[in-house]
């Protein structure tokens, strides 16, 4: 049973010192109960109270790690229904379904596509996370395919069979990689729990007859000692999956209902009648709370929009993506190369640098730290103004790299050129284009 704000308040020091960033202990207790604060933020809470409050402090959706080492991924630990309330935390894992009835060359091709799926976007690598191997033929073939896939990919595995004997045989080959076991149901859960405990693996709990039955089964499994669970409501249609995803998230966050406080696995591969519908459902599941999403295949045309959607939804809206302040070399610039200035908002950096690259004119790009704001926003916030740009240009060392001392500023802040020349009397300020797409033409003119 989740603790209320008042229960928590009784165990806090009640000094209202404000060191947690919240003015009173009561307000802190209310935020903790709502999953909007961390217990560690109060430095004065006693060890005894910490232990008692651990239930309230635990994330309402348990964090589950699948796999080991570099390719391990974590899902869950979400605390809000809507991204704008705070942020989403752990992006859903994308995986491919491999049925063991497929021919070997088809399996190899699917695994190869999963391995190769990788895109760079705003300094992040977007890629697949998991391979699900499903038993559709006999036990010997299942183990054979599991071993084959393990040898062909560094990605963690989901082992899909409801037959405990098959699961046991497959685990003997791949248990050290901490695969996700799919699935414990009402008939096999005691044996599946024993296997999960023996090998330290997370376990899917599957119950298609309704969320009450699913909650009751997850409680039984948890009581037997396996806490790292993933839920599968086994929905009969895409509409039901959508409804279940929302109800599970709401029950976990709003009602603090622990039996449903786990990530959910979804299968758009089984629900979409063609690739387009599968991709569309995958997008819906990213937006509406899936923890792991399994596709029939990971073709780049289908996955790129989903990877970008996932990246966009799972970035913190309060913390823009940034690049480090400093001087960036585009091409091989020398003392005569143009020098451009812009802000450290990641998207701004990548748009400007790719246009400079496309121009084939080597250039120096001075990136100023304005806490990840774009040019106009940073200027309006008083962070990209002559009084701050001047000291940055002096300390970054660009003056030692060029002899022309001409600095190109973004066209959107043309109005600061006069004042900037007063701040930097040794420099001539050149007003660049407003749009980065016009840079290549200007760069060619400046470099001649």
* Alpha-carbon gap, residue 341 to 407, rounded angstroms: 7
CB of 35 to ligand SF4, least distance (A): 16
Q: Please, which residue, 15 or 312, has the CB nearer to ligand SF4?
A: 15
Q: Is 397 in the site for ligand SF4 (CB under 6 A)?
A: no
Specify the long-range contacts of residues 271-278, CB closer than 8 Å, at least 24 apart: 271/235, 271/237, 271/238, 271/241, 272/238, 275/299, 275/302, 278/302
Q: Which of 6, 10, 13, 140 binds ligand SF4 (CB under 6 A)?
A: 13
Q: How far apart are CA 264 and CA 293, in angstroms?
A: 9
Taking CB under 6 A as the rule, which mask of x and - marks residues 19-58 in contact with ligand SF4? Answer: xx-x--x--x-------------x-x--------------
Binders in 403-442 for ligand SF4, by CB under 6 A: none
Smallest distance, ligand SF4 to C-beta of residue 32, A: 9
Least Cα distance to 61 among 261, 230, 219, 203 occurs for 261
For Cα atoms 409, 411, 417, give the angle at the middle one, nearest 5 degrees: 55
The token duo for 248 is: 């599970």
Phi then psi for residue 364, to 5 deg, are -100, 130
Q: Where is 232: in which H helix or E strand?
A: strand 229-232
Residue in 41, 42, 38, 40 with CA at minimum distance from that of residue 12? 42
CB of 254 to ligand SF4, least distance (A): 24
61 touches 252 (CB < 8 A): yes
Q: Which is nearer to ligand SF4, 23 or 317 (CB)?
A: 23
> For residue 43, is the peptide bond before it cis, meaning its omega torsion is within 30 degrees of 0?
no
Residue in 2, 4, 7, 16 binding ligand SF4, rule: CB under 6 A: 16
Q: Rounded distance, CA 130 to CA 120, Å?
A: 19
CB of 60 to ligand SF4, least distance (A): 20
Q: Which is nearer to ligand SF4, 16 or 447 (CB)?
A: 16
Which C-beta is closer to ligand SF4: that of 30 or that of 303?
30
18 binds ligand SF4, rule: CB under 6 A = yes
Q: Write phi, then psi, for 291 (nearest 5 degrees).
A: -100, -40
Q: Is 6 in the site for ligand SF4 (CB under 6 A)?
A: no
CA dist., res. 161 & res. 374, Å (int): 50
In the complex with ligand SF4, which residue's Cβ is closer, 22 or 363?
22
When the beta carbons of 57 and 167 are compared against ligand SF4, the nearer one is 57
Q: Check residue 373 and give left, alpha or beta (phi > 0: left; psi -120 to 50: alpha).
A: beta
- Coil, strand, or helix at residue 338? coil
Specify the stretch interacting with ligand SF4 by CB under 6 A; choose among 9-17, 155-163, 262-270, 419-427: 9-17
With CB under 6 A, what is the number of residues at the site for ligand SF4?
13
Pick between residue 44 and residue 197 the one whose CB is nearest to ligand SF4: 44
Q: What minimum distance in Å lies between the beta carbon of 51 and ligand SF4?
A: 16
Point out which residues bind ligand SF4 (CB under 6 A).
12-13, 15-20, 22, 25, 28, 42, 44
């Amino acid at each position: 049973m989740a603790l209320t704000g008042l229960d928590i308040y009784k165990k806090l020091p009640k000094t209202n010192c404000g060191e947690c960033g919240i003015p009173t202990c009561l307000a802190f207790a209310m935020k903790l109960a709502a999953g909007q604060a961390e217990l560690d933020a109060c430095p004065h809470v006693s060890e005894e109270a910490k232990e008692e409050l651990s239930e309230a402090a635990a994330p309402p959706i348990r964090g589950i790690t699948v796999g080991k080492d570099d390719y391990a991924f974590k899902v869950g630990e979400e605390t809000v229904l809507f991204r704008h309330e705070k942020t989403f935390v752990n992006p859903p894992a994308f995986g491919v379904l491999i049925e063991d009835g497929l021919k070997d060359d088809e399996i190899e091709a699917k695994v190869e596509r999963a391995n190769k799926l990788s895109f760079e976007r705003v300094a992040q690598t977007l890629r697949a996370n998991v391979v699900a191997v499903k038993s559709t033929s006999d036990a010997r073939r299942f183990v054979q395919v599991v071993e084959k896939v393990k040898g062909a990919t560094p990605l963690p595995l989901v082992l899909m069979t409801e037959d405990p004997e098959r699961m046991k045989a497959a685990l003997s080959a791949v248990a050290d990689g901490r695969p996700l076991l799919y699935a414990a149901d009402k008939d096999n859960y005691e044996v599946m729990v024993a296997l999960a405990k023996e090998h330290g693996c997370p376990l899917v709990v599957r119950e298609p007859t309704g969320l009450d039955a699913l909650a009751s089964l997850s409680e039984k499994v948890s009581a037997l000692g396996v806490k790292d669970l993933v839920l599968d409501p086994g929905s009969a249609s895409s509409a039901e999956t959508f409804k279940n995803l929302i109800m599970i998230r709401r029950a976990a966050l709003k009602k603090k209902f622990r039996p449903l406080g786990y990530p959910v696995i979804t299968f758009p591969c089984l629900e979409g009648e063609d690739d387009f519908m599968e991709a569309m459902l995958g997008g819906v599941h990213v937006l509406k709370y899936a923890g792991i999403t399994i596709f029939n295949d990971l073709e780049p045309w289908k996955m790129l929009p989903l990877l970008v959607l996932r990246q966009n939804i799972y970035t913190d809206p309060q913390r823009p993506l940034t690049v480090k302040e400093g001087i960036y070399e585009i091409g091989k610039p020398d003392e005569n190369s143009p020098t451009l200035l812009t802000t450290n908002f990641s998207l701004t950096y990548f748009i400007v640098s790719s246009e400079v690259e496309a121009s084939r004119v080597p250039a120096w790009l001075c990136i100023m730290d304005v806490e990840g704001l774009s040019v106009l926003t940073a200027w309006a916030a008083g962070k990209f103004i002559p009084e701050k740009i001047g000291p940055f240009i002096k300390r970054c060392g660009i003056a030692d790299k060029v002899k022309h001392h001409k600095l190109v500023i973004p066209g959107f802040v043309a109005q600061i050129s006069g004042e900037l020349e007063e701040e930097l009397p040794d420099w001539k300020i050149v007003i660049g284009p407003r749009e980065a797409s016009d840079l290549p033409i200007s760069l060619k003119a400046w470099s001649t």
